[in-house]
A and B are shown apart, each in its own frame.
Chain A
Amino acid sequence: MKFLLFTNDHSTQLRTWVLIRPIIFALIFVSVVSSAFAQDWVRTGTGLGIEKVRIAVPDFKAATQDPKNTDLLRVFNDTLFSDLDNAGIFDVVSKSFYPLGPIGAPADVKFEAWSSPPPNAAMLAFGNLGVSGNNMTVQGWLYDMKNVGSPQVLGKQYGDAPTAEGARLTAHKFADEIIFRLGGGIQGIAESKIVFVSSRTGKKEIWEMDYDGNNQHQVTHLGSIALSPRFSPDDSRVALSSLTQSGWEILMYSLELDRVVSFPRFGGSNLSPAWSPDGTKLAFSSSRTGDPEIYVVDSSGGNLKRITSFKGPDVSPTWNRKTGGQIAWVSGRSGLPQIYMSEADGTNAQRITEEGYAVSPSWSPNGQFLAFSWIRRYGPGAPGAEDIYLMDIASKQWVQLTHDGGRNDFPTWSPDGRHIVFQSNRSGTEQIWTMLADGTAQKPVTASGRNSQPNWSWK
């Protein structure tokens, strides 16, 4: 009865609303038009069939006659294409669908040919590259192909040295600019770096590479064992744990000075450092009192505080990267290692995995997810595959991201929260792999030696 009354009421209200609405809108319109640009209204809805933006990236055109152009263009075009393909928000149109004829400037764009099948592109990224003397100039545009009236979304000009490295960097910059615009204000990752542990020189040292595996180079030359590198939030330092004369200690390596900078030694085994998102604190595990426990220390090394106090090891802390207000870590207090979560001061600890063998938690940049490595059935007779899982923290729902066998461990998030880098031995040896955060597009980025424990930069 009540319900009926309500709906009746509702519908009459609605009817009156429908009746008076034209008048109201007319009034609003008249009043608003008089004050130009006072407000713009956009009406939109969800569930309208969200799909990845279909983007076409025809090869850039040479703008000058310089002989270097050919090589640089090849590097530039390949890099731009793969950056956009890797971004996770685009459906990049295959080059075989492209209409004939090079596009180097806005005047060359034929809207009809690009916006109708087969390319059927919603967006078009095009431009030109020219070397003149000691300079390489790149002009790039991003056009909305469905909007012939005012198609330009982006127009950019870059200058750099005419080297392959310069061409690659410029392509990364342009790709990031496109991703920033069309990805909702999230910076692209084309210019981001990954640090990892590699033993290809015979000793386990820290190495660094571009996100796509290019430009791999050694960072540390400690001559002992270096593990668990972690970028500081400003990407100027790397915290790592290394075997020193006084045992396992946290070392601070400055990427700007290219050397180890001072950081106190705490005694016992100090492992797995983790930066708080504001860069002021460092959490790590230390066995200075016998049992490995989680400690928090200022990034300068002072003000050491212990935040766990249970029997059994507590290791591998990670901060909530959005708020910095919570910490997740691995605890062995109940037997096999499980993931626990607490406030940043150690209060309100709760276990969030219920079974198996769960290690290597990593908090997503938006604070919503925890990626971790999990052997769900652990013990004799169990299959024992170690895979990467994603847990939604609020609902405790989880999803398995890797299924392809081998041991998959040490997941870390990319700064845009759309990618995960991890270590896997599915190809025979331990290598670094990347994937989209939904588990698709898995691919190796390293191939030589044994590489492990990756960490993605914050920008």
Chain B
Amino acid sequence: MESHTEIFFEHERWGCNLAWSVGLHVLVAGCIVGYAIVAPASRGSDWGAGGGGDAMGVTLVSNVPLPASQTQTQNVLANESKGLSQSHPKPQPEVKEPEAIPIPDKNAKKKTKPESSATKRKPEPQPVEEANNIVPFGQGGPVSGPYGTFSVGGAKGGFGVTGGGGDFGNKYAWYVKVIQQKVSENWLKYEIDPRISAANRVYLTFDVARDGSPRNVQIEQSSGVPSLDQSAVRALQRIDTFGPLPSDYAGNKVSVEFWFDYNRK
């Protein structure tokens, strides 16, 4: 019986608290509903952006066996290689104004002024448009002998053929493109020491036999980074064949010089 009275007493006391509670709940619910109505426009810019502590680090495989679109600029200004052509600013012929009267000592300074402004207006040496038939400057390209060149889909740079019949690159540009594409596909950048951010160009030579298989892979000039050299050699070892040499080609092999540029961005 006592308990009954106690409960009754507590019940008495709830009244006020209950009113508060209900009021506050309604307030909170109102806030949530209000926020939901007002806020949607403002949120949602970065939903799904992750960043959670337990998100797993996704490491993308750098290379699936498809032609990856690796674009690396050959712009003379954008990489440290010397570029394709040697460009010197043209020596500006000295223009003497016919009416100019040389005045000694006092006005010597004044005379120099217009000259300096003229040099300022002189156009800056523009980066030379890289033509496909330019000899690679300072990059071990063919210096003498015939260099057949080929303009293969946007690829600019050290395409050059020398020696022998000398017309392979001219006649079978598509095959050279295949070689280039296949080697690029099979070059896995993750094999390179991650501490290296850039390295010298590594030069490889190899032969393509009649059946299209690469032979005699050799490092012509090391980059100085063993893991880079190795990754380049492995790229070639991974390739079984480039496809048989064109059937109307008379030679029994083609020698290829290939370079690898490495620049981690």
Q: Tell me if A364 counts as interface (CB < 8 A to partner B).
A: yes
B163 touches A41 (CB 8 A): yes
User: Which A103-161 residues sit within 8 Å CB-CB of chain B?
Assistant: 122-123, 144, 146-147, 149-150, 153
Report the nearest B residue to A26, measured CB to CB: B144
**Stretch of A190-198, A302-310, A397-405 lying at the B interface:** A397-405
| Minimal beta-carbon separation of A358 from chain B (angstroms) | 14
What is the number of residues of chain B that contact chain A, defined by CB distance less than 8 Å?
81
Candidates B63, B153, B243; contact of A146 at CB < 8 Å: B153
| Minimal beta-carbon separation of B229 from chain A (angstroms) | 14
How far is A271 from B241 in the complex, measured between Cα atoms in Å? 36
A50 touches B184 (CB 8 A): yes
Q: Tell me if B143 counts as interface (CB < 8 A to partner A).
A: yes
Report the nearest A residue to B179, measured CB to CB: A44
A437 touches B64 (CB 8 A): yes
Residues of B within 8 A of A123 (CB): 174
Residues of B within 8 A of A256 (CB): none
User: Which B131-176 residues sit within 8 Å CB-CB of chain A?
Assistant: 138, 141-146, 150-171, 173-174, 176
Residues of B within 8 A of A41 (CB): 142, 161-164, 168, 254-257
Residues of B within 8 A of A398 (CB): 59, 61
User: Which A53-68 residues sit within 8 Å CB-CB of chain B?
Assistant: 53-54
Convert A347-376 into 0s and 1s, putting 1 for each residue whose CB lies closer than 8 angstroms to a CB of B.
Answer: 000000001000000001010110000001
User: Which B173-215 residues sit within 8 Å CB-CB of chain A?
Assistant: 173-174, 176-185, 187-188, 190, 212
How far is A71 from B156 in the complex, measured between Cα atoms in Å? 44
Convert A327-341 into 0s and 1s, putting 1 for each residue whose CB lies closer than 8 angstroms to a CB of B.
Answer: 000000000000000
Assess A43 versus B187: contact at CB under 8 Å? Given A28-B163, A51-B67.
no
B244 touches A185 (CB 8 A): yes
Q: Tell me if B24 counts as interface (CB < 8 A to partner A).
A: no
Q: Tell me if A289 counts as interface (CB < 8 A to partner B).
A: no
Residues of B within 8 A of A436 (CB): 66
Residues of A within 8 A of B60 (CB): 397, 399
How far is A193 from B165 in the complex, measured between Cα atoms in Å? 43
**Stretch of A163-171, A176-184, A277-285, A442-450 lying at the B interface:** A176-184
Q: Tell me if A16 counts as interface (CB < 8 A to partner B).
A: no
How far is A149 from B156 in the complex, measured between Cα atoms in Å? 20
Residues of B within 8 A of A48 (CB): 72, 74, 155-157, 180
Q: Tell me if A258 counts as interface (CB < 8 A to partner B).
A: no
Q: Tell me if A32 counts as interface (CB < 8 A to partner B).
A: yes
| Minimal beta-carbon separation of B168 from chain A (angstroms) | 4
| Minimal beta-carbon separation of B180 from chain A (angstroms) | 5
Q: Tell me if A313 counts as interface (CB < 8 A to partner B).
A: no
How far is A50 from B184 in the complex, measured between Cα atoms in Å? 8
Q: Tell me if A42 counts as interface (CB < 8 A to partner B).
A: yes
| Minimal beta-carbon separation of B68 from chain A (angstroms) | 6
A49 touches B165 (CB 8 A): no
Assess A45 versus B158: contact at CB under 8 Å? Given A29-B145, A397-B59.
yes
A40 touches B184 (CB 8 A): no
Candidates A46, A146, A149; contact of B259 at CB < 8 Å: A46
Residues of B within 8 A of A246 (CB): none
B254 touches A185 (CB 8 A): no
B251 touches A43 (CB 8 A): no
How far is A53 from B180 in the complex, measured between Cα atoms in Å? 12
Residues of A within 8 A of B22 (CB): none
B70 touches A40 (CB 8 A): no
Q: Tell me if A162 counts as interface (CB < 8 A to partner B).
A: no
A49 touches B154 (CB 8 A): yes
Assess A22 versus B144: contact at CB under 8 Å? Given A50-B180, A144-B173, A144-B174.
yes
B66 touches A40 (CB 8 A): no
A29 touches B162 (CB 8 A): yes
Report the nearest B residue to A395, measured CB to CB: B190
A42 touches B176 (CB 8 A): yes
Candidates A21, A29, A45, A184; contact of B258 at CB < 8 Å: A45
Closest 10 CB pairs of A and B: A185-B243, A47-B72, A40-B168, A185-B241, A29-B145, A48-B155, A184-B182, A39-B164, A45-B259, A40-B164
Other than A39-B163, A40-B161, A41-B257, give 6 A-B pairs with Cβ distance below 8 A: A42-B255, A46-B259, A150-B171, A181-B174, A395-B61, A397-B60
Binding site for A on B (CB under 8 A): 56, 58-72, 74, 138, 141-146, 150-171, 173-174, 176-185, 187-188, 190, 212, 238-244, 246, 250-251, 253-261
13 contacts between A and B (CB under 8 A): A26-B145, A29-B163, A41-B162, A43-B142, A43-B161, A45-B258, A48-B72, A49-B155, A53-B177, A355-B56, A369-B61, A391-B61, A400-B58
